[in-house]
């Protein structure tokens, strides 16, 4: 039981809340309201297992790097609270569960699965090669709403599927933006280890400006989704709340003061994902 608790602590399972509402967003928009229980259940399973797969594999791939980083040296795998073997089992089990969920959700999601797995596993090595790693993480997370849309609609490549692609890039820029903020904590360490990131390459000030631009694009894409699907004023109010929360998030951090980065990263982004999910749910279910 201790190993199970340590595993969930290692992968920060509770942070699934960041991406799960956006997966549900793809599901709600594709269904034009509430989906079937079968779709809801297996989309939830797919999202949770995909995140578990990506995070656990990332922790394995980075275990030696994390051991040298003062910020991450106390993680369970570094302190011996959980074994490499247990984490590897977690990777295998989550991959099996994800495959089962994709199969349950239909032939299109099963066909898309290999690409999703490649992104989930490939991201773990991105910082070794490119400073675009922030956007690779965002794109990987953005596959969640795209997959949920595909599960409900059974299509991705028609004119009517445009909102799914807008969602993909919404999440790409949203996640990239707050990953840039979080990465500012490791600027000097990344330079010492010859790891690639925007803060390491150009400094924290530039990284925070790029993060701001990412979040401006995020709000613009969310607005475009509302217009494309005629979601009305309730949804746009939700977009306004998201914009206000993003402004607040950026007010918490400075290039030379990252003391509130955890508040910006964990709390505010959780509120953002819930706010846009609730606004979308209300827009689709309340009669106009």
* Count of alpha carbons within 13 angstroms of residue 196, beta-carbon side: 14
Q: Model pTM? A: 0.93
Q: Please check the confidence at residue 227 and state whether its pLDDT lies above 70.
A: yes
pLDDT tops 60 at residue 4:
no
| Res. 287: pLDDT tops 60 | yes
Q: Measured at the alpha carbon of residue 199, what is the angle toward residues 196 and 200, in degrees to the nearest 5?
A: 45
- Nearest C-alpha neighbor of 127 from the set 199, 73, 41: 199
CB 101 within 8 A of CB 49: yes
Assess whether pLDDT exceeds 70 at residue 148: yes
Question: What domains appear along the chain, each with residue ranges and CATH number?
Answer: 2-285 (1.10.357.140)
pLDDT for 265 beyond 80: no
Q: Above 70 in pLDDT, residue 126?
A: yes
């Amino acid at each position: 039981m201790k190993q199970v608790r340590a595993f969930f602590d290692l992968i920060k399972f509770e942070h699934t809340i960041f991406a799960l509402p956006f997966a549900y967003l793809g599901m709600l928009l594709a269904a034009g309201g509430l989906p079937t229980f079968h779709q809801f259940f297996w989309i939830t399973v797919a999202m949770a297992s995909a995140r578990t797969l990506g995070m656990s594999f990332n922790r394995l791939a980075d275990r030696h790097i994390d051991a040298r980083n003062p910020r991450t040296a106390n993680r369970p795998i570094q302190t011996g609270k959980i074994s490499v073997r247990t984490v590897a089992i977690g990777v295998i089990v989550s991959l099996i569960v994800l495959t089962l969920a994709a199969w349950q959700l239909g032939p299109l999601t099963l066909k898309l699965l290999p690409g999703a797995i490649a992104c989930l596993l490939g991201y773990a090595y991105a910082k070794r090669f490119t400073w675009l790693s922030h956007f690779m993480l965002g794109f990987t997370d953005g596959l969640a709403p795209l997959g949920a849309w595909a599960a409900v609609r059974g299509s991705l490549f028609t004119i009517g599927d445009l909102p799914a692609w807008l969602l993909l890039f919404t999440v790409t820029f949203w996640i990239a933006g707050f990953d840039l903020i979080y990465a500012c904590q490791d600027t000097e360490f990344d330079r010492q280890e010859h790891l690639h990131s925007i803060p390491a390459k150009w400094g924290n000030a530039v990284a925070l400006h790029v993060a701001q631009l990412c979040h401006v694009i995020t709000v613009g894409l969310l607005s475009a989704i509302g217009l494309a699907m005629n979601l009305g004023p309730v949804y746009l109010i939700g977009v306004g709340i998201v914009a206000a929360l993003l402004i607040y998030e950026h007010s918490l951090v400075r290039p030379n003061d990252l003391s509130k980065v955890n508040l910006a990263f964990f709390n505010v982004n959780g509120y953002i994902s819930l706010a846009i999910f609730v606004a979308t749910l209300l827009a689709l279910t309340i009669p106009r």
